[in-house]
Every structure is written in C-alpha cells, then in structure tokens.
Structure 1
C-alpha cells in the first residue's frame, strides 16, 4: 500500500564522549527496529555532540567519531533500516559537518552540510567548511572505499527515495531539500542542532511544514537535546515528522531521556500529489542539478501493526475551532460566487425549491447570506415548497417554518395532481412505484421552478451536493438541473456541519430549533409514499449506503487516485469500529458502479463554485468519459 514507517530520534549525549553517545544512539536504533521503522534520523553531529567547540580541531575526537561510525555499522549489519547520523569528517585537511547514511553494515553515502552559519550565536565556520557545490564525489575511509560524497545524493529504495540536509540548510532561501525533492526524493531527513529561543519553536515548525508542502514530501526533523553544553545556548531535542504540509507527529521538548517518535508515511499520496502538480514537474526540469542515485533494497516492506490515524471524515476538520473557521470560509465562497452571478445577470430575485431536507436548507442559507451581502430585500427570495406523494408533515412543516422565519417569499405548489395527470398522459400506472414514478415528481418540481424563475425574472438556485453528484443520486434534467448551483462541491458530511454551524452560531429561536430538527431528519428524496405512520419510508442511505463511507471513498478516489484495494484497506482501518469489512466492501462496490455509470449527469452540470480541493465539474477538475467501464 506504499506506506513506510519512519522515526526521529534524540539520544542522550555527553559533550565529546563518543562512546557514551554511541551507546544511546544504538539504544534508539534498537527501539526503532522493534517498531519496524525503515528510516531513522538523528541530530546533527550526534556522534560527538554539537557543542564541542574547538574540540572539533582535535585528532582524538575526529578519530573517535569515525570509530563510532564503525561501531554502529557493526551493530546494525542485520538491521533493515536506513540510519542517518551526524558526525564530523576530515577530508584532505578540510573538516565537514556531515550526515552519514548507513544501511546493513555499510555507509551508503555521506552528505556534507551545504550552508555553515556564522552569525549571532553561531560560529561554525571556525571549524567547518560548507559543502555546497560538492556533487557526485567519492571518498575512501580505512574500512570502506568509494563512498559517495556530495549534496546531490538520493538514496533510492524499493519503497521510497530519501534525501538529507543539515540544520541551517533548511533556513536558507532555497534549501537543498527543494532540489532533492525535485530530483525525486520523497522523504527528507534533517539532522539539526537548533537552540531554543522564545517563540523560535513556532517559526521552526512553520518552516518544516512549509518545506514539506513545497517539496510535496515527508520531512523528518531531529534536533539536539538538553544534554548539549549549556555554556551559552540551550537545545530542546525538538522532533517532528510532517507530510505535505501536515504535522503527523511531534514530541514534547526538553526530555531528559532517549526519545524516538514514529509515524507512517503515505508514499502513494505523495507520488499522487506530485503527478497531479504539473508545476512541480515543470520545475524539476530547471534545477540545473543531476542526482547521484544510490540504490538499496529493504528486505521486508510488509505493514505490521498499522497505527496511522486515518480520518473517517476527510472533508471535515477534526478541531471544533477549525471547523467553525472552515464553515465561515465556505459560506463566504458560496455567497460571493452567487453574488457575482446575480450582479452579472442583473437579476434581483432568486428562486429555490425547499423540501425541508439538508441540501435545500444549506442552499437557502447561502441565498440569504448573499442577499444580505448585496443589501437586497429577502422578500425577493422566492421559496417554493412542492408537496408530493412522499412528503411528510415533519419536512413540510420545517420547510414552511424556516422560510417564514428567514423572511422569504413563501409559496406552496402541490405536485400530486400534475404528476397524476402526467402518469395518465404517458400511460403509467400510479401504483407502480418505480423510477418513472419517482422521476416524474422530480422533473415536475424542476419545471415549476424553472418556469417561475422565468416569470419572476429570478435566478433558479440548484441545491444538489457533491456526494449526490458522485453517486448520480439525482434525476437527470430534474433536481440535477438549475440556473446556478451553490452546493456542487460540498459533500454530504460537510453539509451537516455547515447547517449545524448556522444553527449554533448564527441563529436563535425558531430558526435554530428548525435547523436542528432538519439535521435530525433522515436523508430522503421523499418520492415514495409515506409509511403507515406517516413517516419517511424512503431513506437514501438504506438504498445507496452510508454517506460517510461514500464521502471517504470519493475523497481517496479523486484526491489521490487510490485504487479500489487501497481504498478498501484505508476504509477498513478508519471504520473498523463502525462497519464490518464485508459491509465496507459492499458499499465500495456500489460506489464504484454508480460513480462510473452516472458520469453522464456530471458531464452536463450547471455552473457552481469550487469550494474544496475536490470538484466534479466537467469544466474544471474532473473530465471523464460517460461510458468508461466500472472498476471491479
């Protein structure tokens, strides 16, 4: 499934005591090995410790550091893990601050620090020489010959491609990791010794997250800890693992014992993002650099004890505050888009069908916000409720209450007689409750809305959402059609939160109560007759499946181009406490069949704004033949 487990470590150290440092580095490696990690990143100069000062100019320390590398190699001959450790390295009387990449008892390559800080509290140029410009060299050590040495090394495995940079390299205008990413590295390690100052942690974290986003990569950061010299500075052992702008794991700083953090990296997702991002691909042509590929192979790439968090509702932020901010932003996008369309057409009225369901409720709330934005009279919002064979008292009364309380022009047109006449015209038995029975009602409602919009010189507002479009759960040239749609990129799981946000944060009294009751009403098109108790008999999720599953399927299918097997793997992990594996597979099969067979509806969508990263607009994000074979 293209996942790999990585680690960031901060071992206990003593300044200049290589034996002590190696002992703790090996303890961290052993912990990571037990966790089945494939890549571990240690701090800058962790073999000696970073704060050795002029001791770096002593032969004894330099020779001990190389001996320390040999100790690690001997202890990890059977370790199926790429290890990045920091150590000084003397080459032809020039001292470099380096990252050693070790694998199964061998040095795969050595990367020198490109940029040497020599300002404020840093004075590394007293000891070290910058490595920038060194590419595709080889060096010899007593115990290994022809070791790749340079800043353009890409360590290419059967799972992922790795690159490393060192501390200051991240803080410059164009970090080496930018070039490494463009040359194919999708996991970057940073061996660092970044001291703590007030608020520096936030800035550092933002740099790391931003760099992982710009490089569309995973960025693993390890910084020196509290046992470095505190003569003038204090280090905190800050550890972070990020992926494409998202923070996956972070430690609590200032720990006094060995510490290792872990996370699973989704290599498939990174590759998919790079494939779609044409600007990233174009930029790779102009780096002026050529990678030195160092190939190696992990023996075991299987996934054991998978514990990466997989969000069940990827369209919905988990944080309450972030959800509220997202809701405000979405309403701004929707209402501003509709305002532009109203201004362009010169129309002062909007027409919208209100069913008492979630989608039409959200669309109405958007229209109200738009009219407030444009200082238009809300009485020019013409709301039409059109009871049919399946309309229940609950949805009918909620529709009436909501429109009245919001100050809209409320009208009621019953479609029963018109539908019965149409059944008679086309020779359809009214007792046969098939697709014709349902679609006659949907198209009758759309005809009424279209004709009223013409009569009133108004704009007919569509209400259908992204989830319905993905499944084709709409009547072609019925609720499928409008003059402008405001919900086409809002999935059903997010529709709920938007309506709930207005109910809790922007409404009170009867409006808030009605919105909460709409949220509690089962999702239904109400096209089949009511049950014997007058309640909704036709529940959408009983027919097509749970929307939370379909939104999950849609997100991973469109966002990352995930295969059916991968989606099933992720879904069974995310929903393991909610659905059985067979249930998930059943609804995934339903999703795939409906998504492919219903493309013809999406190919003829009305205009509407893109709100999130996923849209099925045939003019924008999704172009698909209507007769492609469903994937099995």
Structure 2
C-alpha cells in the first residue's frame, strides 16, 4: 500500500489584504504539516484574494503576489510538503490565473487555468487569459528578484503533471481529487461557502464546513494510491482508452511523497455527504457574510428600520442567526471570533458573549418608524420580532417631522398637499408617500451614526448609577440633553 496524506482548506481571504491572506496561508500550512500531510492545496487566487476585480489589471497586484510567494519560499513553509498557491501571473503580455506548485523552497511548476468562469457573478475573462496550449509546457522566466532569491531562473509553465518517484498526477478514471475554496466575504457582495473536500475513487472521504466563521479550516485525509491504481486497471476498456491518449508533458521531481503501510495508520473512509436545508442556507450564508463584513469594516453594529413587513423581518431574522453563530463559535473556542465579538460588542473585564440575545442587544438596533397611517398589527409584529432576536428596539412616530415639512412647504407655496383619500390628486398622494420614505431614510442614517455612541454612554451610566438611570422609552428622550450622561 502506498499511503498518502493530503490536506486541503477553506480560507477567509480578503481582496488586496496581503498581510491577512499570508497569515491564513501560513496557518493552513502549519496545520497541514502538523497533521502529517505531504500535499497542501490552497484556494484559487488565495494570495491576492479572488475578488480584486480591476486591481488584477494593475502590475502592483501581481508584484505583491510575487513578494508574498518569495516570503513563503525563503522560509521553511514548503519544506517536506508540496504546496499549491493560487495567484495571478503575467507571461509575456498575457495575465493568467495560476496554481504555483512549490516544494522544498523551489517552484516546481506553474499551472495556468484553462477554462475561465465568465457568467453570472464571474467575469474572469475581463482580467485573465485562458491557457489554450493543451499538452504543452513552456519555460517561464522568473522575475529577476525571485530568480536571485531562489537561485532558480526558469520554471515549467503550462499544461502538464508532476512525476514523483512514487506517484504522479493524471486525468484518467479514478483518482484522488482535492477541492479547496474561499470561505466568507472578501470585501464585495459575494459570499464564498467553503466546503473543501477530498474525494477518492468517487467517494467523499473528508468534507469541511459549508458555512463557517473560521478564518482557516483544514480538511485532511489519508488515502491509498494502490486502490486508485487497482480501480483504473479493473476494466480493460479503460486501459485501452488510456493507452491511446496523447502524451501529456511531465515535470520530474526526484522526491517521494508516499509512506509504506503501518498497522497504526488508518485510511480515511467514505463519508455521508453533509447537506444544508434551503432554510439553513438562507440563514447561514447571509449571516456569515454580515459577520465578516461587520468585523472588517470597523463598524459598531447594524441598524435596521423594522417595519414588520416580510423584507425587513427577514433581515432581522438573519442578523439574529448571525448572533447565534457568533456565540456558538465563541463557545467552541474560536479565539478570533471571540476577540472580534469582544471588540464590536464593547465587552470589558474579561466578559464575552454567551447569549445571542444579549449580544444582539449590543450590536443590533431596530426602529419602527410609524405614522398615523401605520397599523397596530405591523407595530406589534416588529416589537415581537425584535424581542425574539434581542435587538435594541425603538418605536418612533415621525408624524411631527412630516407635519413640520408640510408646514414649511405651505409657507413657501401657500398650498398643503393631501392624500388621495382626502381629496388630493395622484401627484399629491405620491409626493406625501415619498416624503415619509425619505424621512425614514434620513432618520435611519442619523440613528445609525449616533445610536452606538448613545448606547455606550447608557451602558456606562447604568453600570455606575443603576438606580438613577431614567428608562428610555421613546426617541425624543434619547436625544434630550437632560438624559444624556455627558
């Protein structure tokens, strides 16, 4: 038996955040080495982040990626382990989306992507060229500073495989397939769902999480390469087809990856694939996205105008799910999530979130902005949902602000618009509806800017003067100087 331990990963990379991306890459390599893996696969464009968009067109982005790769190769990160790093590379006048395969502080081979995603959310053809020279390896001249640092002038570039002393990579039936992916929000509107996995001869033997708040998640499997060879040779027709295939160029590496069988070694067995229900995907995906964006943006939380309707109620439920995920990861010992939660939630004296509703109260503000036309049903729905989620909820009437604007308009024009039910025209009716919507928008912006400041002051005041703190029950009191702790 030729045993091989492989590692793939989910990484939370951010576009153009080279320092953070390198930290995660190094952490993944360290964990792969600790597990005894001899191959480590990273996600596509992991060094730069996948969502750099038109920054890929800048030479600086590619140059920074080379600097990061040089740092990895000059250290001991690739000692004794074949690492695949994703980064953009310029060859001649073309820019390619590449895997750079490295071992023992040398670049073994560069594999450009042959098929580019270019529909839906993806526009890779805007930034990259697909490698069209199938069955061909060229000599790629390394940048001068990389060449001098590594004492390596050229590297094979193109379509091919690596031939080790005891195994190689091919594309015939059966095999060990490793999938790596980004996980999280990389600074744009997309969420990458992770789910790294290892598949052997059609069976999933290792699977990572699909939605997670972890920055680095490793998936490790120990496989038997002789089982792959046995499957490939089990049907004669497949052997005949394989014998007729054109020769694929190879890069020879005088290095052994496999281990001999020992009794204490356990092979990774086939797993039952884990799927989330549609409801879980709807909750977990946006919830993870919101947390990732919140912790990176430096904001203090979220404000949601909660009308009691389906749209805003769905958003409130998703934020509540986010708070549950954060508390769960803190309880599971994720120190990065814990540190971010302490910072965002303004916890002191060694405290940290242990209850999702309590955490929501610190970072999630909801406000019902009602008028004389609002119903008690929507107001009650908003209040009940806010209590279930745990948000800091306000019930505000904006009739006074609307009346003030209409009085100003009447002073300027001598006319006061009326709703259609009161005899007004369509123009008047539409104008009055738009006034309500825009007032809600302006009020939401003001509350989003100032409520975290008020909330922190209130928390401090209540801590030191619990008996004298006046209860806040409506918006005007919040901004009344008599009730401001400062």
* TM-score, normalised with respect to structure 1: 0.40
Tell me, in whole angstroms, the C-alpha distance in 2 between the residues paired with 1:49 and 1:318.
31
Does the alignment pair 1:83 with 2:83? Answer: yes
Q: Secondary structure at the match of 2:248?
A: coil
Within the candidate set 272, 279, 284, 2:230 is matched to 272
Contact 2:166/2:257, CA 8 A, preserved across alignment? no
Match of 1:68 in 2: 68
Change (3 A) 1:14 1:78: closer
Change (3 A) 1:47 1:309: closer
Q: Secondary structure at the match of 2:233?
A: helix
Deviation track 1:510-560 (CA, whole Å, cap 9, x = no partner) reads xxxxxxxxxxxxxxxxxxxxxxxxxxxxxxxxxxxxxxxxxxxxxxxxxxx
Tell me, in whole angstroms, the C-alpha distance in 1 between the residues paired with 2:8 and 2:82.
12
Residue 247 of structure 1 and its aligned partner are, at CA, apart by 0.7
Tell me, in whole angstroms, the C-alpha distance in 2 between the residues paired with 1:20 and 1:74.
19
Deviation track 1:459-513 (CA, whole Å, cap 9, x = no partner) reads xxxxxxxxxxxxxxxxxxxxxxxxxxxxxxxxxxxxxxxxxxxxxxxxxxxxxxx
Match of 1:122 in 2: 122
Deviation track 1:550-574 (CA, whole Å, cap 9, x = no partner) reads xxxxxxxxxxxxxxxxxxxxxxxxx
Contact 1:4/1:159, CA 8 A, preserved across alignment? no
Residue 123 of structure 1 and its aligned partner are, at CA, apart by 1.0
Change (3 A) 1:49 1:77: closer
Does the alignment pair 1:222 with 2:180? Answer: yes
Tell me, in whole angstroms, the C-alpha distance in 1 between the residues paired with 2:95 and 2:76.
26
Residue 14 of structure 1 and its aligned partner are, at CA, apart by 2.0
Tell me, in whole angstroms, the C-alpha distance in 1 between the residues paired with 2:55 and 2:74.
26
Q: Secondary structure at the match of 1:224?
A: strand
Match of 2:158 in 1: 150
Does the alignment pair 1:33 with 2:33? Answer: yes
Does the alignment pair 1:181 with 2:140? Answer: no
Does the alignment pair 1:160 with 2:167? Answer: yes
Structure 2 counterparts to residues 393-432 of structure 1, below 5 A: none
Contact 1:81/1:298, CA 8 A, preserved across alignment? no
Contact 1:8/1:240, CA 8 A, preserved across alignment? yes
Q: Secondary structure at the match of 1:181?
A: coil
Tell me, in whole angstroms, the C-alpha distance in 1 between the residues paired with 2:28 and 2:168.
23
Tell me, in whole angstroms, the C-alpha distance in 1 between the residues paired with 2:257 and 2:227.
23
Residue 300 of structure 1 and its aligned partner are, at CA, apart by 7.5
Which of 120-129 and 272-281 deviates more? 272-281
Tell me, in whole angstroms, the C-alpha distance in 1 between the residues paired with 2:89 and 2:130.
12
Tell me, in whole angstroms, the C-alpha distance in 1 between the residues paired with 2:116 and 2:30.
32
Tell me, in whole angstroms, the C-alpha distance in 1 between the residues paired with 2:161 and 2:7.
19
Residue 302 of structure 1 and its aligned partner are, at CA, apart by 5.1
Does the alignment pair 1:307 with 2:315? Answer: no
Structure 2 counterparts to residues 16-27 of structure 1, below 5 A: 16-27=16-27
Residue 276 of structure 1 and its aligned partner are, at CA, apart by 2.2
Match of 2:203 in 1: 246
Does the alignment pair 1:8 with 2:8? Answer: yes
Structure 2 counterparts to residues 202-213 of structure 1, below 5 A: none
Q: Secondary structure at the match of 1:9?
A: strand
Residue 309 of structure 1 and its aligned partner are, at CA, apart by 4.7
Q: Secondary structure at the match of 2:56?
A: helix
Q: Which runs of 5+ in 2 are unaligned?
A: 274-486
After superposition, the CA RMSD in angstroms is: 2.3
Tell me, in whole angstroms, the C-alpha distance in 1 between the residues paired with 2:236 and 2:73.
41
Match of 2:444 in 1: none
Q: Secondary structure at the match of 1:283?
A: helix
Deviation track 1:393-452 (CA, whole Å, cap 9, x = no partner) reads xxxxxxxxxxxxxxxxxxxxxxxxxxxxxxxxxxxxxxxxxxxxxxxxxxxxxxxxxxxx
Residue 161 of structure 1 and its aligned partner are, at CA, apart by 1.2
Residue 36 of structure 1 and its aligned partner are, at CA, apart by 0.8
Deviation track 1:227-280 (CA, whole Å, cap 9, x = no partner) reads 32342x211112010001111011111222211010011101111111222222
Match of 2:104 in 1: 104
Match of 2:139 in 1: 138
Q: Which runs of 5+ in 1 are unaligned?
A: 163-179, 183-214, 312-316, 320-632
Q: Secondary structure at the match of 1:276?
A: coil
For these two proteins, the number of residue pairs brought into alignment is 263
Match of 1:296 in 2: 254
Match of 2:307 in 1: none
Match of 2:212 in 1: 255
Rg: which structure is higher? 1
Tell me, in whole angstroms, the C-alpha distance in 1 between the residues paired with 2:56 and 2:207.
31
Q: Secondary structure at the match of 2:259?
A: coil
Q: Secondary structure at the match of 2:129?
A: coil
Change (3 A) 1:229 1:281: farther
Structure 2 counterparts to residues 418-567 of structure 1, below 5 A: none
Contact 1:16/1:49, CA 8 A, preserved across alignment? yes
Residue 289 of structure 1 and its aligned partner are, at CA, apart by 4.0
Contact 1:80/1:300, CA 8 A, preserved across alignment? no
Residue 3 of structure 1 and its aligned partner are, at CA, apart by 1.0
Contact 1:80/1:298, CA 8 A, preserved across alignment? no
* TM-score, normalised with respect to structure 2: 0.51
Match of 1:568 in 2: none
Match of 1:95 in 2: 95
Change (3 A) 1:318 1:19: closer
Does the alignment pair 1:236 with 2:226? Answer: no
Structure 2 counterparts to residues 300-379 of structure 1, below 5 A: 301=259, 306-309=265-268
